[in-house]
Structures are given as C-alpha cells and as structure tokens.
Amino acid sequence: MALYSEKVMDHFRNPRNVGVLEDANGVGTVGNAKCGDIMKMYLKIEDDIVKDVKFETFGCGSAIASSSMATELIKGKPVEEARQLTNKAVAEALDGLPDYKMHCSVLAQEAIEAALKDYESRQEEK
C-alpha cells in the first residue's frame, strides 16, 4: 500500500495555485521550520469573494498537498465560506491522510485563517 492516496500524490506532484500573489490583500504564514512545516497563503479578496489564492509551502508531501487542496476549496468562494473551511474537509477532499499527517491539514486551515485575519486588519486600517 502506498503511503498516500492518489489524490494526495496528484496534488503533491501537480500543486494547484502554487507561487506568490503579488497583489494579495491578505497574507498568512503558519508553522515553523523547526517542526518541518511552513505554509504561506496569499489571498486576493474582492467584494467578499476570494478572487485568487496562491500558496508557498516548506514541508512534506502531505503538507504540500494539503495547501494545494485548501486553495482549490476556497478559490472563487465567499469569504464566509473560506472562513468555515475545516482541516477535516481538506483531509476528506484528499481521500484521507495518515493519522500522523493530519496536522498538515490543520496547518492548511490555520494558514487560511491567518491570511483572512491579515485581510481583516488591513480593512480596519483603511
């Protein structure tokens, strides 16, 4: 049996929405290199819709796949929906993760939360 599902391997090998979003108005970074995982989410929000999203990840296969899947799940969605994204939904969309890799999906959820928080604080400053 393979370590990861086909879905995980697909998102790991061909990550969606990977890179930097130059005109992002919400950016969040979670994790630390000491633990071996860092995720950075870039959001471009307009009219309460996640118009665009990109990510950068330092981490294992499931960390990269979780970030990729999370971006797919929120792209084009209302901010409210993005806010409600759970790590469980990310893991399920990937056809599951090994138990000891579930924290990768948590990180993806937290990265989006952090980016949304950054967006909100930027809005308040305006």
Partner 1 sequence: MIYADNAATTAMSEAAINTMTSLIRDTYGNPSSLYEFGQKAKEVLEQAREDIAKTIGADPKEILFTSGGSEADNQAIISAAKLGEKNGKKHIISSKFEHHAVLHTLNKLAKEGFKITLLDVHENGIIKPEEVAAAIREDTALVTIMYANNEIGTIQDIKGIGAVCREKGVLFHTDAVQAIGHLHIDVNEENIDMLSASAHKFHGPKGVGFLYFKKGIRLTNLIEGGAQEKGKRAGTENVPGIAAMATALNDAVNNIDKNTEHLTKIRNKIIAGLKEIPHSALNGDENSRLPSNINFCFEGIEGESLLLLLDDKGIAASSGSACTSGSLDPSHVLLAIGRVHDVAHGSLRLSIGEDITDEEADYIIKSVKEVVEYLRGFSPVWRDLVAGKTQFIL
Q: Which residues form the interface with partner 1 (CB under 8 A)?
A: 9, 12-13, 15, 18-20, 29, 33-40, 55-61, 63-64, 100-101
Active-site pick, 65, 82, 93, 104: 104
Distance of CA 19 to the CA centre of its chain: 12
Q: Establish whether 60 is a catalytic residue.
A: no
Q: Which is nearer to partner 1, 31 or 90 (CB)?
A: 31
| Helix (H/G/I), strand (E/B), else coil: 70 | helix
d(CA 34, CA 7): 27
Between 27 and 116, CB nearer to partner 1:
27
Amino acid sitting at position 121: S
